[in-house]
Amino acid sequence: MYEYARGHPGLVQIKEGPKISRQGIYKVVLESRGHVCRLRNEDDARAMSQSVLTGLTWLHKGGYVHRDIRLPNILFVPGVANYKYVLIDFEHANVGGLLVSEQLKDWDNKTLTKGNKYTSQSDMYQFGKMLENLNIINSDDGKRFLNSLKNKNINSANALKHAWFK
């Protein structure tokens, strides 16, 4: 997954790894360096969303899903002209559409399909839920965007064409 993400905006970049030591420790050396993602207003949320959705579009195009979209898994990378935010932590990432045996902490009864599978639309739903919980998206276009995400009516590529980004 890290190799697939290499060179693509909105996704963490690595120097080396992943490696598992003899002690069973999972290690990845990151190329991307950043800060905790702190969003102050709707414009910040929009900029972060554009970066993360650009990364998700690439992952989904390759048949992958992130599965753990939460604010702690998004870094702000200062000094970058475009795509100042990157999605990190591919520990739970996998190919999309697999049957799920256990749920992650932030999932709810709408995250998975009726067949108990995690899909790219599950990523979009989780992203929408995360954005909504920030309580900083108040414009009409922003609210429509959130509804499209949470209702699983929009994929990552189409999300970037939404009126909220214009």
Residue-range domain boundaries for the chain: 34-165
CATH of domain 34-165: 1.10.510.10
96 vs 6: which has the higher pLDDT: 96
Contact yes or no for 9/82 (Cβ under 8 A): yes
Please tell me what DSSP assigns to residue 151. T
Query: Looking at the predicted structure, is the pLDDT value of residue 30 above 80?
Result: no
140-150 vs 120-134: helix crossing angle, rounded to 10: 140
Mean pLDDT, rounded, for 85-100: 95
Measured on CA atoms in the order 22, 24, 30, 34, is the torsion positive or negative?
Answer: negative
Other beta carbons within 10 angstroms of residue 116's beta carbon come to 11
Q: Is the pTM of this model over 0.95?
A: no
Mean pLDDT, rounded, for 56-73: 98
Per-residue pLDDT, 122? 98
pLDDT level of residue 20 (50, 70, 90 thresholds):
confident
Per-residue pLDDT, 32? 76
Mean pLDDT computed over every residue of the chain: 94
**Hunting for tokens 């699983």 — which residue is that?**
152
Would you state the torsion angle of the CA atoms of residues 105, 110, 115, 120, taken in this order, to the nearest 10 degrees? -80
